[in-house]
Structure 1
Amino acid sequence: MLSTTERTRLRRGKHKARTDRADLYSLLDAGMVCHLGVVVDGAPMVVPTGYGRVGDTLYLHGSTGARSLRAGGEVCVTVTLLDGVVMARSAFHHSVNHRSAVVYGVPRVVTDERERWEGLRALTEQLAPGQWDVVRRPSAKEMAATRVLALSLEEASVKVRTGPPSGDEEDHGLPVWAGVLPVRQVFGEPEPAPDLAPGVEVPDHVARRVPKP
Structure 2
Amino acid sequence: MSDGDVSYARTPRTTPTRYKDRATWEQAAIHAILDSTYLCHLGFVADGAPVVLPTIFARVGDRLYIHGSTGSRPLRGAKGDQGLPVCVTVTLVDALVLTKSAFNHSVNFRSVVAHGTAHQVTDPVELSVALDALVDQAVPGRSAEVRPANAKELAATAVVRLDLDEVSAKTRADGADDDEADLDLPYWSGVVPVTTGYGAPVPDASATVPLPAHLRDLTR
Same fold by TM-score greater than 0.5? yes
- 1:61, CA displacement in angstroms? 2.0
Q: 1:204 aligns with which of 180, 190, 213?
A: 213
- 1:59, CA displacement in angstroms? 0.4
- Residues 42 and 53 of structure 2 are in contact (CA less than 8 Å); yes or no, is this contact kept in structure 1? yes
The reply on whether 1:169 has 2:175 as its aligned counterpart is no
AA aligned to 1:15 is D
Structure 2: distance between partners of 1:113 and 1:26: 28
**Matching residue of 1:126:** 137
The reply on whether 1:30 has 2:24 as its aligned counterpart is no
AA aligned to 1:117 is S
- Residues 139 and 218 of structure 2 are in contact (CA less than 8 Å); yes or no, is this contact kept in structure 1? no
- Residues 40 and 54 of structure 2 are in contact (CA less than 8 Å); yes or no, is this contact kept in structure 1? yes
- Residues 93 and 110 of structure 2 are in contact (CA less than 8 Å); yes or no, is this contact kept in structure 1? yes
**Matching residue of 2:21:** 15
The reply on whether 1:109 has 2:120 as its aligned counterpart is yes
Q: C-alpha deviations, 1:84-120, integer Å up to 9, x for none?
A: 0000111111010000000000011222222111111
- 1:82, CA displacement in angstroms? 0.6
Uncovered stretches (5+) of structure 1, i.e. residues with no partner: none
Aligned length: 209
Structure 1: distance between partners of 2:138 and 2:23: 27
Matches within 5 A, 1:35-114: 35-72=41-78, 73-114=84-125
Structure 2: distance between partners of 1:14 and 1:45: 27
**Matching residue of 1:190:** 201
Structure 1: distance between partners of 2:153 and 2:46: 25
- 1:139, CA displacement in angstroms? 1.6
Q: Which runs of 4+ in 1 moved over 3 A?
A: none
Structure 2: distance between partners of 1:76 and 1:106: 9
Q: Which moved more, 1:34-43 or 1:88-97?
A: 34-43
Structure 1: distance between partners of 2:217 and 2:117: 37
AA aligned to 2:172 is R
RMSD: 1.2
- Residues 25 and 167 of structure 2 are in contact (CA less than 8 Å); yes or no, is this contact kept in structure 1? no
- 1:69, CA displacement in angstroms? 2.1
Which TM-score applies when normalising by structure 1?
Answer: 0.94
The reply on whether 1:160 has 2:132 as its aligned counterpart is no
- Residues 39 and 71 of structure 1 are in contact (CA less than 8 Å); yes or no, is this contact kept in structure 2? no
AA aligned to 2:130 is G
Secondary structure of 2:67's aligned partner: strand
Secondary structure of 2:147's aligned partner: coil
Which TM-score applies when normalising by structure 2?
Answer: 0.91
AA aligned to 2:29 is D
- 1:47, CA displacement in angstroms? 1.0
Secondary structure of 1:79's aligned partner: strand
- 1:33, CA displacement in angstroms? 0.4
Q: C-alpha deviations, 1:126-152, integer Å up to 9, x for none?
A: 001111001111121111111221101
Secondary structure of 1:30's aligned partner: coil
Secondary structure of 1:93's aligned partner: coil
AA aligned to 1:208 is D
